Amino acid sequence: MSKTKLMSTLLKLGLIAALLAVAFGALQASPVQASQGSVTLTIDNRSSTGLTLTLRGPAYYFFKVASGDLHKYSVLRGTFSYVLTGCGMRTTGTLVIQQDTKMINPVCGGNVRAAPKDNSKVDLGAKVKVVPATISSDLPLTTKVVLTGPSTYVFFIKPDQDLEVTIGRGVYNVNYYACGVIVNREFEVQKDKVLILSCPK
């Protein structure tokens, strides 16, 4: 082979090698893409109400899971801001998803036992923050009571009734009609607290 043909062949081979290197590099994921990847998010709703979960971060997701249902989704790894509604409450916060993760929404007012520290299991009950409480009536008539605070609740309480409810923890403004006047008072809901409806003194 002549020297000219040899040089021409080497140049062609070099050009082909360069093109292959560029093409191969283009097919590889960038470090950011590789670090995101996808993981499985499982939502197990064990409560008596439906829940919704909105995630905003590397991508946008909206999930709706009915009472008693379990669904699995593919999501990108990363840090998300979330909006969660369930058990009559709405809460927001930040969530880091870096591995396959299971979110459990327990019975309203309950919690998930033995949640691992590696965040592979998330107790949604700890985020919704509802607690069992009791509304007790000392009034002679059925009474409508409205609680306004972290959420809004309306209950009808019969005379001498002890109504067990599950509502959001926090401070509420309580309104009800009793003994010819509208009663307006404040009540802090905590676990097993009792709100007693009575005539104003």
Q: Which tens digit of pLDDT belongs to each residue from 57-99?
A: 999 999 999 999 999 999 999 999 999 999 888 889 999 999 9
Nearest alpha carbon to residue 44 among 131, 158, 123:
123
Instruction: For the full predicted model, state whether its pTM sits above 0.85.
Output: no
Asked if the domains 31-128 and 131-197 are classified in one and the same CATH topology, the answer is yes
State pLDDT tens for residues 129-181.
888 899 999 999 999 999 998 888 999 999 989 999 988 888 999 999 988 89
Which structure tokens are listed for 149? 């605070």
* Residue range 31-128, CATH number: 2.60.40
CATH of domain 131-197: 2.60.40.1120
pLDDT confidence of residue 162:
94
Nearest to 187 by CA among 198, 199, 196, 177: 196
Classify each residue of 123-140 as buried b or exposed e, where b means 16 or more C-beta atoms within 10 Å of its C-beta. bbbebbebbebebbbebe
pLDDT of residue 126: 85
Contacts of 44 (CB under 8 A, 6+ apart): 70, 102, 103, 104, 105
- 7-55 pLDDT, tens digit per residue, is 566 556 655 655 444 444 433 333 333 346 899 999 999 998 999 999 9
Domain ranges of the chain: 31-128, 131-197
